[in-house]
C-alpha cells in the first residue's frame, strides 16, 4: 500500500513541474507582415461622459423621504428569550 501511495503522489508533482516548465518557456516569435493592418488609429479614445450626479437637495428641491419606522419582532419564539 505504501509503495502504491508513493506513485500516486508523484502524479500531481509531475503535473506541477510540467505546468511550471510550460509557463516559463519563452514565447514563440510571431511573423511580422509588412502589410498595413486596417481598422483604427493611434489616437486615444475620447473620455466617456460622466454620469449625472444625485439630485440636489435644498430650498429648491423636495426634502429627502423619511426613514421607515422600526418594528420590533414579536412572537412565541422571541417571547421565550425574555
pLDDT digits (tens, 9 = 90+) for 27-78: 887 776 666 665 566 677 778 888 887 776 666 667 778 888 888 777 666 5
What's the rounded Cα separation, in Å, for the pair 55 and 52? 9
Residue 9 DSSP SS3: helix
Length of the chain: 82
Cβ–Cβ < 8 Å for 46, 52: no
Residue of higher predicted confidence among 11 and 26 = 11
H helix or E strand, kind and range, residue 74: none
pTM score of the predicted model? 0.33
Q: How far apart are CA 19 and CA 13, in angstroms?
A: 10
Amino acid at each position: 500500500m505504501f509503495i502504491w501511495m508513493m506513485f500516486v503522489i508523484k502524479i500531481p508533482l509531475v503535473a506541477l513541474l510540467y505546468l511550471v516548465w510550460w509557463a516559463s518557456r519563452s514565447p514563440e516569435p510571431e511573423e511580422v507582415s509588412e502589410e498595413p493592418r486596417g481598422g483604427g488609429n493611434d489616437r486615444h479614445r475620447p473620455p466617456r461622459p460622466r454620469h449625472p450626479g444625485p439630485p440636489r437637495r435644498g430650498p429648491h428641491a423636495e426634502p429627502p423621504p423619511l426613514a421607515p419606522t422600526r418594528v420590533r419582532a414579536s412572537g412565541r419564539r422571541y417571547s421565550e428569550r425574555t
